[in-house]
């Protein structure tokens, strides 16, 4: 199996194991990502909580997510992306809920979503956003993108639609997704190139918020992407691996 096959299979296995069967009903944040971006004079960072990944394997040994997030927020992150996929990412809805109960910030349920059951779980755990991966729909791993977006909106969830190619990006702009993501990582090969964002934003003049994801390690990366037109940045691995999360987030925020 290629990486996409594995990611989809992992989600199907997690569904079968009732990973997304949630009895809780948590409230969402009272804050807004678009408002935070509009009012922010510095770099708007979405900081990602993940303990492992297909490319990095183990990132850090599982520790207190509340302490980790507290440092992220105090460092200036405007929101959080929290992995709920148990396989390859070592995440869970339970970790998401622990964080949701403690912090009133916009939160993205980061997962490989292939079924409405996962969207319903996102609603129950208090997510503000879910992430959908455009290539999974184009390659027919998942059916009917617009139906999944509409169902999310029906439940009050906003949608980040992740793209990697020029064609995916162009077609995503005509959907009802709330934010368009540009993943600098090719999910087929796991190779990262932040020039992907520059290429896809060439001649873009739309009004939708674009978030750049993956491969953001330092202030120079933030400045490069800002010059490309990016105003929202998702940063995961470089934050989670840093010994001083608060200082690293603060440095990224103050890159602008």
Residues forming beta bridges with residue 109, ordered by sequence position: 82, 130
Q: Which whole-number Å values give the CA distances from 75 to 16, 45, 158, 247, in the listed order?
A: 38, 10, 25, 6
CA distance 122 to 113: 10
Contact between 114 and 103 under an 8 Å Cβ cutoff? The reply is: no
| Residue in 93, 114, 112 with CA at minimum distance from that of residue 24 | 93
Rg (CA), the chain: 17
CA distance 253 to 234: 12
Give me the active site residues, please. Answer: 48, 50, 110, 162, 183, 213-214
Q: Strands 158-163 and 129-133: what pairing? A: parallel
């Amino acid at each position: 199996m290629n990486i996409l096959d594995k990611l989809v299979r992992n989600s199907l296995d997690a569904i079968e194991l009732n990973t997304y069967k949630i009895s809780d009903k948590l409230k969402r944040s009272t804050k807004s990502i678009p408002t935070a971006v509009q009012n922010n004079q510095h770099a708007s960072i979405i900081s990602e909580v993940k303990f492992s990944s297909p490319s990095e394997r183990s990132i850090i040994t599982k520790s207190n997510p509340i302490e980790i997030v507290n440092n992220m927020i105090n460092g200036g992150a405007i929101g959080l992306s929290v992995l709920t996929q148990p396989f390859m990412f070592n995440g869970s809805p339970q970790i998401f809920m622990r964080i949701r109960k403690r912090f009133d910030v916009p939160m993205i349920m980061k997962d490989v979503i292939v079924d409405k059951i996962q969207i319903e779980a996102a609603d129950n755990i208090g997510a503000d956003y879910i992430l959908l991966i455009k290539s999974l729909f184009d390659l027919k791993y998942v059916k009917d993108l617009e139906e999944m977006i509409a169902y999310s909106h029906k439940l009050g969830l906003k949608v980040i639609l992740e793209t990697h190619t020029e064609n995916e990006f162009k077609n995503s702009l005509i959907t009802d997704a709330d934010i368009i993501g540009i993943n600098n990582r090719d999910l087929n090969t796991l190779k990262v190139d932040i020039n992907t964002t520059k290429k896809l934003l060439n001649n873009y003049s739309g009004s939708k918020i674009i978030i750049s994801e993956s491969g953001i390690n330092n202030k120079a990366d933030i400045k490069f992407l800002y010059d490309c037109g990016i105003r929202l940045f998702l940063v995961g691995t470089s934050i989670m691996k840093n010994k001083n999360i608060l200082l690293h987030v603060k440095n990224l925020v103050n890159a602008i």
